[in-house]
Amino acid sequence: MTYYASVIVDVPAKQTDRAFDYEIPAKWHGFIQPGMRVNVPFGPRQIQGFVVEVKDNTTIPKTRPITSLIDIQPILTPELMRLADWLRDYTLCFTISAYQAMLPAALKAKYEKWLIATDLGGVPAELQPFFHASNRVKFEEMAGTSHFKTIKQLIEEDVLEVYYEVKDKLSKKTRRVMELQVSKEALLKAKEKISARAAAQHKLLDFFLETNTEKIDKKTLLEELQIGTSAIGALVKLGILKEKDEEIYRDPYENREFKKSQALSLTQQQQEAIIPILHSIEQHTHEAFVMFGVTGSGKTEVYMQAVDAVLKQGKEAIVLVPEIALTPQMVNRFKSRFGSDVAVMHSGLGMGEKYDEWRKIHRKEVKVVVGARSAIFAPFENVGIIIIDEEHETSYKQEDTPRYHARDIALERGRYHQCPVVLGSATPTLETFARASKGVYKLLTMDKRMSEQGMPSVEIVDMREELREGNRSMFSRSLLEKLQTRLERGEQSVLFLNKRGYSSFVMCRDCGYVVECPHCDISLTYHRSSNQMKCHYCGYEEPVRSTCPSCDSEHFRFFGTGTQKVEEELTKLLPHARVIRMDVDTTSRKGSHEKLLQQFGDRKADILLGTQMIAKGLDFPYVTLVGVLTADTMLNVPDFRSSEKTFQLLTQVSGRAGRHELAGEVVVQTYSPEHYSVELAGTHNYLDFYQKEMQIRKLHQYPPFYFLALVTVTHQELTKVVTVTEKITNFLNMQLSDEAVILGPVASPIARIKDRYRYQCIIKYKREPNLHEALKTVIEKYQTQMDQEKLAVHIDLNPYMLM
Ligand code: ADP
Ligand code: ZN
Ligand code: ZN
């Protein structure tokens, strides 16, 4: 009998987005299964592919044989393969891209395949010679043999274990670091001496001058600055930098002890929230819940007890938390409750570490995964609950192909496994809350905090008023006074600097003029050490001006204050305060994030100053004051969600205050105190915010009243971009109903990046059965041009970034 495998090949193109049949050589009969990757001949080339089906007939008259095996076991479950088909249709990607998105990066890199004998006595005689030297053997050594059936059986019986040894630098136990050897003064001197033409060396000097970094991973440094190794070499020769190897740990949690925690007895409010979830778990029915609970209402405890109920049924749990909230505190809570049953997946792990965590799931060694977005593809086969914490976080949307939202994947998997999906947030997205209001999702409300103190009081300070009254400092008088009181009482404060949206841009405080890059149409960023304005996208720079080119005002300065500058001013104003600064610079080293938080938790500092990374998930009993330095930087971003995002962020940050016995206070500094998102966040009034924002969305025809699709076209020539976008817009106009609103062609909010022009067309619609077909046609039509002329056409259904 001849067997055939249907294979989806790794060529992401329309013509190859289907299965091709190959013959399975006799030695692999019964060994090759769907979900394994193989190498196959494709035209003159050898390429990778995923086996999707094994069958004993084919309609193809002449098939070629599979060349070799990439996997020894299936790496995708039947459910995930089915999910990939769904993902393809729902994001308009190719099947192969959907498969790739589900796998850890390590499986796309170089690795060696090992077979490890867990029980040498169980290995049959014919295989014993392979294990004479040790209990592990490279799979390649078996390649020529005919033992595959036996091997498969031994793997199933757990006598043999498959291990992929990942060949990336990170999986090694050491890493290369660059260490600064000299003082800032010496760096500045070097800047004067080194020729201006040695741009890369200047970049390096600037980096160390601006960031206060003492030591940094070499690879990160090269990537970050986009420079070659020779510049580093030059500075090493001058004695400015030193290169060395430093030990790293493979398992980031392996050396830590977790105190075992017990389930707390639930409050009335928690009890009422968990009952419907437990019911869905017991009945094995799919139901979607929105857990609408204010910050500090005890949502996490409810999650953990629901997970516990699932584990008792012998099932598995997926818990998603936003990358930024994957703080050691959150991980600790799950690890202390569920111990070694937990795998943790986040971007701070190296490629090898991520593979190790994935492998624990794949081998069913763990029952719970706590992770960021991509953990939604955890290869569990018996999922009993999926929880998405901070459901409103935009990091759940993937911005590359396949452009999926983790919430949609969760609901799809929940339907498949007939299990509950819990979406938790103090500030659910309008889309989600609207569905809950309509009864599509079940609403679970927790409006009381665990602590007796209730929600913290919020004072909104108008910074324009401060300026008018002669206070030029970035601290309002009220905030400064409250910080002082905290110092006197020995309580702690958190200062939050909103850097999202704009970072350190220069704006005229009188007329609002912002300096932009001439190549990218985005505001330039201020770099202090060189006193230059730089573009983040293309590297363009120009000197800082002292007056506004538009109105000649002298109130023209560096606006989005950097954390470093805030720290300086703080130490001037409150010389006795002990300050911990947390931003990308102070946390670039592995583990430093955690160490800084630990110090703050141990009350070794009075003030924690930071960016987005401190907005979420922190729970410290002595924090009684939260100060938001600039509440409204995000309101200026051209995005219909900017009010929603501002409201969410302010609510999250305020939620860090007064979570335990001591009452909390919040000071929000803003230039737009009258804006409803600032005002309503101040009174913790989500429901009013929801009503107000819904009216605006309805008026302007935005989600949740309309669905959105975004088509973005980019190319070096403006005329090309305009004509193509125009053609696409016209085509869509013909294909869609009169109800659809098609906006475009218009320039994207960032109209140019790296001298590539960007045009877009936004489609707002309620029901358009033809839309997917029409968009598919668009992609197909431009594919050849995409390949030959570097034209790019991106389609994003339900976009989160309209830039
Ligand atoms: P949320 O996730 O809603 O912001 P948390 O789960 O962090 O809230 O809970 C806030 C605090 O209350 C935490 O310190 C938590 O340990 C505590 N807590 C939660 N549930 C209970 C309970 N049933 N009994 C006692 N303390 C609890
Ligand atoms: Zn001006
Ligand atoms: Zn630029």
Residues 730, 585 share a domain: no
Q: Which ligand is nearest to the CA of 522?
A: 3
Q: Ligand 3 is a single-atom ion; what residues have CB below 5 A from it?
A: 517, 519-520, 535, 537-538, 540
pTM: 0.80
Give the model's pLDDT for residue 172: 44
CA distance 38 to 369: 28
CA nearest to 218, candidates 207, 53, 209 = 207
Q: How many domains does the chain have?
A: 7
82, part of any domain: no
| Four-residue CA torsion sign, 29, 30, 34, 37 | negative
CA nearest to 618, candidates 295, 291, 292 = 295
137, part of any domain: yes
Domain holding 209: CATH number?
Answer: 1.10.10
Q: Is 419 annotated as contributing to ligand binding? A: no
Give residue-wise pLDDT tens across range 644-660: 988 998 888 888 777 77
Top-confidence residue, 115 or 308: 308
Give the model's pLDDT for residue 502: 38
Residues 383, 324 share a domain: yes
Q: Are 72 and 50 in contact (CB under 8 A)?
A: no
Q: Are 322 and 616 in contact (CB under 8 A)?
A: yes
149, part of any domain: yes
The SS3 of residue 652 is helix
Residues 391, 298 share a domain: yes
Q: How many CB atoms lie within 10 A of CB 773?
A: 11
Domain holding 50: CATH number?
Answer: 3.40.1440.60
Residues 161, 18 share a domain: no
Residue 286 has pLDDT above 60, yes or no: yes
CA distance 742 to 762: 6
Sequence-distant contacts of 144-148: CB under 8 A, at least 24 apart = 145/27, 146/27, 148/27, 148/28, 148/30, 148/31
Residue 252 has pLDDT above 90, yes or no: no
Atom of ligand 1 nearest to the CA of 295: 4
Residue bearing the CA closest to ligand 1, atom 4: 296
Contacts for 214 with CB less than 8 Å, ≥ 6 apart:
179, 180
Among 293-302, 320-329, 532-541, top mean pLDDT goes to 293-302
Residues 749, 620 share a domain: no
Top-confidence residue, 145 or 389: 389
Contacts for 304 with CB less than 8 Å, ≥ 6 apart:
263, 333, 334, 337, 338
Residues 333, 436 share a domain: yes
548, part of any domain: yes
Measured from CB, residues less than 6 Å from any atom of ligand 1 are 264-267, 270, 293, 295-301, 450, 619, 659
- Poorest-pLDDT segment among 293-307, 529-543, 616-630: 529-543
Question: Token digits for 453?
Answer: 């103190």
Q: Are 774 and 736 in contact (CB under 8 A)?
A: yes
State the amino acid at position 19 in one-letter form: A
Dist. CA 81 → ligand 2 center (Å): 57
Give the DSSP H/E element, type plus range, for residue 709: strand 707-715
- Choose one of 212, 247, 282: the last residue of a domain: 247
* Domain span holding position 156: 111-166
Q: Is 520 annotated as contributing to ligand binding? A: yes
Residue 249 has pLDDT above 50, yes or no: no
User: SS3 helix, strand, coil % of the chain, rounded to 5?
Assistant: 35, 25, 40
The number of residues in the chain equals: 803
215, part of any domain: yes
Residues 472, 367 share a domain: no
b/e 53-89 (16+ beta carbons within 10 angstroms → b): ebeeebeeeeeeebeebbbbbbbbbebbbebbeebbe
Question: Token digits for 555?
Answer: 């109130």
Residue bearing the CA closest to ligand 1, atom 15: 298
- Which DSSP letter does residue 339 get? G
Atom of ligand 1 nearest to the CA of 265: 23
CA distance 326 to 396: 13
Q: Are 542 and 524 in contact (CB under 8 A)?
A: yes
Give residue-wise pLDDT tens across range 153-194: 888 888 888 887 776 554 445 678 888 888 888 888 888 888
Dist. CA 524 → ligand 3 center (Å): 8
Q: How many CB atoms lie within 10 A of CB 750?
A: 16
85, part of any domain: no
Domain holding 365: CATH number?
Answer: 3.40.50.300
Q: Chain centroid to CA 593: how far?
A: 17
State the amino acid at position 570 in one-letter form: L
Percent of the chain having pLDDT more than 70?
92
Atom of ligand 1 nearest to the CA of 389: 2
Beta strands 342-345 and 368-371: pairing type?
A: parallel
Residues 413, 322 share a domain: yes
- Choose one of 49, 74, 99: the last residue of a domain: 74
**For the residues of 736-778, what is the DSSP string, one character each?**
S-TTSEEEEEEEEEEEEETTEEEEEEEEEES--TTHHHHHHHH
Q: Which ligand is nearest to the CA of 507?
A: 2
CA nearest to 339, candidates 261, 269, 444, 399 = 261
pLDDT mean across residues, the chain: 86
- Choose one of 216, 247, 278: the last residue of a domain: 247
Give the model's pLDDT for residue 616: 64
602, part of any domain: yes
**Angle (deg, nearest 10), helices 686-699 and 430-437:** 100
Give the model's pLDDT for residue 501: 36
97, part of any domain: no
Give the DSSP H/E element, type plus range, for residue 610: strand 607-610
Top-confidence residue, 401 or 253: 401
- Poorest-pLDDT segment among 539-548, 583-592, 691-700: 583-592
Question: Token digits for 443?
Answer: 């609403």
- Which DSSP letter does residue 299 get? H
Whole-number Cα distances in Å, 460 to 200, 509, 645, 675, 677: 45, 20, 18, 11, 12
Domain holding 711: CATH number?
Answer: 3.30.70.360
Phi, psi of 379 (to 5 degrees): -80, 45
CA distance 104 to 358: 7
CA distance 239 to 571: 32
CA distance 611 to 66: 52
Give the model's pLDDT for residue 588: 61
Give the model's pLDDT for residue 173: 57
Phi, psi of 654 (to 5 degrees): -60, -30
Dist. CA 459 → ligand 3 center (Å): 38
Residue 127 has pLDDT above 80, yes or no: yes
Whole-number Cα distances in Å, 500 to 512, 636, 798: 18, 11, 21
**For the residues of 24-40, what is the DSSP string, one character each?**
EPGGGTTT--TT-EEEE
Q: Which ligand is nearest to the CA of 659?
A: 1
Residues 294, 160 share a domain: no
Residues 281, 208 share a domain: no
Residues 416, 368 share a domain: yes
Only one residue has tokens 């049953």, namely 341
Residues 130, 32 share a domain: no
Which residues are registered as beta bridge partners of 511? none
CA distance 22 to 51: 10
Q: Is 93 annotated as contributing to ligand binding? A: no
Dist. CA 281 → ligand 2 center (Å): 60
Give the model's pLDDT for residue 557: 65
Question: Token digits for 117?
Answer: 């004998």
Only one residue has tokens 């994030």, namely 593
Q: How far apart are the first and last CA of the chain?
A: 56
